[in-house]
Chain A
Amino acid sequence: MSEVFDVLIDQPFFEGMTEEQVQAVAETARLVTFEEGAVMFVEGGPARRTYLILDGDVALSLRTQEHGAKTIQTLHRGDFVGWSWMYPPYRWSFDANVRSEVTALQFDGPLLKKASLADPELGYELLRRFTEVIVTRMQALRIQLLDVYSTFR
Chain B
Amino acid sequence: MSPVPCRVLSVEQELQDTYTLEIEPPRDDWSFLPGQYTMLYAFGIGEIPISISGDPDDSTKIVQTIRAVGAVSDALVALQPGDSIGVRGPFGTAWGTKAAEGRDVLIVAGGVGLAPLRPVVYDVLNHRARYENVTLMYGARSPADLLFASQISEWRGRFDLEVLVTVDHGDDAWRGPVGVVTSLIGRSSFDGDTAMAFVCGPEVMMRFTIQALERGGLTDDRLYVSMERNMKCGVGLCGHCQLGRFFLCKDGPVMTCAQMAGSCWIREV
Contact = CB atoms under 8 A, between A and B. Distances in A.
Direct contact of A and B (CB under 8 A): yes
Interface of A: 57, 59, 68-74, 76-78, 99, 139-141, 143-144, 146-153
Interface string B140-167: 1100010000000000000000000010
Interface string B11-47: 0000001000000000000000000000000000000
Given A140-B180, A143-B182, A149 B140 contact: yes
B178 interface: yes
B208 interface: yes
Given A68-B172, A70-B170, A143-B204, A149 B111 contact: yes
A141 B69 CA distance: 27
A116 B177 CA distance: 33
Contact of A77 (B139, B168, B187): B187
Interface of B: 17, 67, 69-70, 110-112, 139-141, 145, 166, 168-170, 172, 174-180, 182-183, 186-187, 201-202, 204-205, 208
A144 B177 contact: no
Given A76-B187, A148-B110, A140 B182 contact: yes
A28 B15 CA distance: 50
Contacts of B168: 144, 147, 149
B208 A76 contact: no
B141 A71 contact: no
A76 B177 CA distance: 9
A88 B87 CA distance: 64
Given A143-B205, A149-B112, 4 more contacts: A57-B177, A77-B187, A148-B202, A149-B110
Contacts of B110: 148-149
